[in-house]
Amino acid sequence: MTCSAEVHVGDVGTQYRVRILDDGVDFDPSDAPVKRLIFLMPGGVVLVKEASVETDASPATRWFLTYTVQQDDGAGSPPDEFHAIPGKVKVQAYLEWASPYRQFHSDIQTVDENGVELQIWENLN
């Protein structure tokens, strides 16, 4: 999971990234028509966002689903979305294939790639 070490209420441009592993083995999720990141935000708000596939290099040896928080993801559109209140964040990758019907859920991430807990911090205002 990649994220800024310190995310604050109202921040935009934060990239969330979840490595795609199945039983500890990397795999390419590019052929899945449905690629999403599921977030559990502070206050119990669950958000589901369409994600993009990224790789670590060429040729790829690791794959990630990524989502970058946009300006319109903040409080008010709809209320209580990204970075609206301080607290802990959890994120999970989700993939789905239509034929034959299959689903994949990654492990639930609570820390970034550096072991820093995913959390939204208050501003000093």
Per-residue pLDDT of 108-119, as tens digits, reads 999 988 888 999
Q: How far apart are CA 30 and CA 27, in angstroms?
A: 9
pLDDT tens for 42-70 read 988 889 999 999 998 888 899 999 999 98
Fold for 7-114, please state it: Immunoglobulin-like (2.60.40)
C-alpha distances (whole Å) from 115 to each of 2, 3, 85, 119 are 10, 11, 22, 12
**C-alpha angle 24-34-49 in degrees, rounded to nearest 5:** 90
The two tokens of residue 48 are 């589901």
Q: Is the pTM of this model over 0.85?
A: yes
| pLDDT, average across residues 82-98 | 93
Phi and psi at 44, nearest 5°, equal 85, 10
- CA quadruple 87, 91, 44, 49: dihedral sign: positive
Closest CA to 91 of 24, 18, 30, 28: 18
Reduced to 3 states (helix: H, G, I; strand: E, B; else coil), residue 44 is helix
